[in-house]
Structure 1
């Protein structure tokens, strides 16, 4: 079951003559740009709206978009299987989203984005522990360079109050990694619609309770931004998933690192956040974490 968005027909018209790899890269670039925009909106909203309320509206929009598929598959959705894995995935996703919203609201956009890249490290470690996946030397080199790049961008200072938000960013990445590992285990066993609906519904329910403690009735402008978080996230997710349909996974996944460029640019233009030389060196390390292991691989062939 696929969820059709209005963007699909427009996309098809524009990219008819493009190669599959070009389509995959273009889709991934758009997806990362849109997710960066979501982070900006969350940051703007967080001045007056709590992060749990923002997350609740995001999930409500997801559910509204999924409603036709829910009606069609209601009978099967009432009988979930692999409940334990679904539970871990939902808790991981809720942790990643709610804490991630807090982090993007409190520290520079580029720093919050860089911390999100540590998900790759946690996924590798969890996959080693629970899925018995091996770590090649190239993979280890990628992880080391990537983590070093994140540290140079964030530049944690143990005397700085931002250290708390850096730690929270790592917790959010761990939650995202737990959700990703659970998806790997159940993606071949459950329908795609079940994966989408259960997360949209139960993450929303988890956000509902804490959102009531500091509930703020939004203005019309704030309501528009709240709905935009869900709509743009949905479109970004569609572009991201579609990117893997056209482009090779190793090519598409590397495009995500462009998000740091978006974050630096938007942070500078909207929030006057100017990265220093060490941060720019960290950006270089992030891109080297993708390129250097491939150079070694090509030389060994």
Structure 2
């Protein structure tokens, strides 16, 4: 384990994912979300296949035990990606990023309902605090004197994407019991590429060569980001790396200002801070519980 390398890889992944989102946002007026999903998935495939080949995991990545599990993970993940990409064309990048922080909160709730994980009062309180932060970010959009149909549609798209991303995480937790990580990564890209083609009847468009380049770049960047993210967890524990997800708001503010002239509002900054505090509390509590479980294990009987 090399914690500093893991942190560096995680920050690189978050940075690249924010670049990918910026590229998608830049082309939101040129192509519909379904077409953007295709480019993001298709052009990530060579990167992922090359990575699996170099690791010697290509055969493993092509071998699955639960093909329908991968299919449904793909359906959920592609839908989440589509709604997320749609929101980028409707809202400022920092706002999309901040509202998207609801996904980990939904994951905690779904884990309790669908996986039977114990939902302790501390964690439930932190989830509630996180959702309050998300509401703070959205509040200006909910004010009666500032109602904007386009913005409200954007908020709805981000929230739907967050719910679907949380469901995808629950599905992945089930898949990892029988499937290799390389298989999950490879077949998601394959499924996403295939399913996105079903949106052709809803109107695809030629984005021009410059737009084509941006969309292709989103795929390459997204593929590299996925590799960095996967590699990070080989060098450091998930509990250590989790807080660095929140670096995305800093990158989103930077890119939003530089490339789209978007200045985050005070409500976005305050709400983001609340969500980050809530996420930090959950991570800290889970780490404490993990340390206690680790200390208890040596004294356990074989039955636990």
Q: Determine if the TM-score, normalized by the shorter chain, exceeds 0.5.
A: yes
C-alpha displacement of 1:64: 2.6
Q: How does 1:271-282 map to 2 (within 5 A)?
A: 271-282=260-271
The answer to whether the 8 Å contact 2:136/2:271 transfers is yes
Counterpart for residue 96 of structure 2: 112
Counterpart for residue 23 of structure 1: 5
Residue 141 (str. 1) matches residue 130 (str. 2)? no
1:243 corresponds, among 222, 232, 250, to 232
Counterpart for residue 103 of structure 1: 87
The answer to whether the 8 Å contact 2:45/2:223 transfers is no
The answer to whether the 8 Å contact 2:80/2:160 transfers is yes
Q: How does 1:51-62 map to 2 (within 5 A)?
A: 51-62=33-44
Counterpart for residue 221 of structure 1: 210
Question: Aligned partners of 1:177 and 1:108: how far apart in 2?
Answer: 22
**Structure 2 portions without partners, runs of 5+:** 293-304
Residue 288 (str. 1) matches residue 271 (str. 2)? no
The answer to whether the 8 Å contact 2:40/2:216 transfers is yes
Residue 188 (str. 1) matches residue 174 (str. 2)? no
C-alpha displacement of 1:94: 0.9
Question: Aligned partners of 1:153 and 1:215: how far apart in 2?
Answer: 32
2:59 corresponds, among 65, 70, 73, to 73
TM-score if structure 2 supplies the norm length? 0.82
Question: Aligned partners of 2:95 and 2:25: how far apart in 1?
Answer: 13
Cα deviations by residue, 1:190-234 (Å, 9 ceiling, x for unpaired): 233321232112221211121354222342222221111111001
TM-score if structure 1 supplies the norm length? 0.83
Question: Aligned partners of 1:32 and 1:296: how far apart in 2?
Answer: 22
The answer to whether the 8 Å contact 2:9/2:229 transfers is yes
The answer to whether the 8 Å contact 1:55/1:204 transfers is yes
Counterpart for residue 169 of structure 1: 158
Question: Aligned partners of 2:205 and 2:190: how far apart in 1?
Answer: 22
Question: Aligned partners of 1:75 and 1:55: how far apart in 2?
Answer: 22
C-alpha displacement of 1:102: 0.2
Residue 88 (str. 1) matches residue 76 (str. 2)? no
C-alpha displacement of 1:67: 4.3
Q: How does 1:24-39 map to 2 (within 5 A)?
A: 24-39=6-21
Question: Aligned partners of 2:60 and 2:88: how far apart in 1?
Answer: 36
1:206 corresponds, among 184, 191, 195, to 195
Cα deviations by residue, 1:25-56 (Å, 9 ceiling, x for unpaired): 22211111111111110011111122211211
How many residues are aligned here?
Answer: 279
C-alpha displacement of 1:284: 2.0
Residue 254 (str. 1) matches residue 240 (str. 2)? no
C-alpha displacement of 1:60: 1.3
**Structure 1 portions without partners, runs of 5+:** 1-18
C-alpha displacement of 1:21: 2.1
Counterpart for residue 43 of structure 1: 25
Identify if the C-alpha distance between structure 1 residues 87 and 286 changes in structure 2 by more than 3 Å, giving closer, same or farther. Answer: same
